[in-house]
Amino acid sequence: MTIGILGGGVWGSALAKLFSDQEVLIYTRDKKVMNSINDHHFNPKLKYATFNDNVKATDDLKSITKKSLIFIALPTQNIREVLSNSYFQNLNADVIIASKGIEISSSLFLSQLVESLIKPKSLSILSGPCFSDEVAQDLPTAATFASSNSSIFDTISRMLKTKKFRIYYSDDVIGCQIGGALKNIYAIAAGISDGLNLGENARSALITRSFVEISRFAMFFKSKQETIFGLSGLGDLMLTCNSSKSRNTNFGIKIANIKHKNFEKELDKNAITEGYYTAKAAIKIASENNIEMPILESVFNILYNEFDIEEEIKKLMSRPLTIEKIN
C-alpha cells in the first residue's frame, strides 16, 4: 500500500518513520524540509529520525491525492484550505486524521470538517499520548484508532511492523477526538500553574478537574466512557499536562509571568500551540450548549480577554463548594 502524509512537521515525519516499510510520500510547503528529506533522509525539525529510501517528500499536492492511504497531520486551522483544493474532489483513498483540534470558524470536529469537504473511502482517527520524537525513536507508545470501519484498523495493524507502537480499536469517532483537542487547553493551564510555582497539590487538582470538564464536554456529545478514560482521553491529558516537552505546557509557563497581555506574539513560530486556537472553538461550543467548564473559561479569558491570571485563579478557588461529580 502507498501512503501519503499531509504535513511535513514533526508529527507527519514521525508517522512517515513509523510506516516506512511502505512507500511513503510527505507533502510539505517548506522546500528546505522537502530537499532535506529527499537528499539527506531526515527532517531538520525532527530529532533522532532518519528515513530509509521508501520515504520521499514533495510540494506537489496532486501527487498525494493519488495515494491509497492518506494521513492528515496538518495544523487544524489549515485543513480546510488544503482539502478545498480541486485535486481532492475525486479522491479514492482511506483517510486517517492524525491532527488534533476543532475548527474555529465552523466549530466542527475534524472528522466532520473532512467529511464536509471530501468523500474518502473510509475515515478514521488516530489519537493518544504520542510525542513525535519518541515515536520516531521507536520508544513504546500506544494510541486509539477510531473508525466505523474495523477492516481499516486491521489493515493498519498489519502495516505496523514495530511492536513498540500499539493501537487499540474504537468505533467512537467523535469521542476519540475530544480528549486530543481539549487536553491542549488544559496543558496551558497546567503550564500557568507551574510558571507561578503553585505547587504539586495545585497541579494534581487542576488536572483532575480538567478531566472532569473534558468528561462533561464528551458526555454532551454522547461519547463512550471508555474512550474518555482511555488513551485518547485521560492518557493524552496526563502526558500533555505533565511533560516539559509539551508545547502547550511550555506556552503556559511562558505567559505566567510576562507583563504584557498580547500572548499571541509569544507563540512559537516553528511549532503550532494548538491549545491557544482550540480554546476559542471550545468556549463557543460550551457557551452555546451550557456545558459548565470554568477552567476552560478562565484560560480563554486570560488568552483572549486580557483577564488577570491571579484574579482568574482566585475566581476558580472561590467557586461555591459542591459535591464532587461530573454532570
Known catalytic membership, residue 183: yes
Which residue is associated with the grid cell 464532587? 324
Per the CB < 8 A criterion, the answer to whether 295 and 211 are in contact is no
Catalytic-role residue among 17, 67, 100, 183: 183
Half-sphere exposure of 25 (CA within 13 A, CB side): 18
- What is the SS3 assignment for 16? helix
Residue 97: partners with Cβ closer than 8 Å, 6 or more residues away: 71, 72, 110, 111, 114, 123, 124, 125, 126, 177
User: For residue 221, how many other CB atoms are within 10 A of its CB?
Assistant: 15
C-alpha 78: how far from chain center = 13
79's grid cell:
485543513
Sign of CA dihedral 48, 52, 54, 58: positive
Chain center to CA of 106: 18
Residues annotated as catalytic (active site), given as ranges: 183
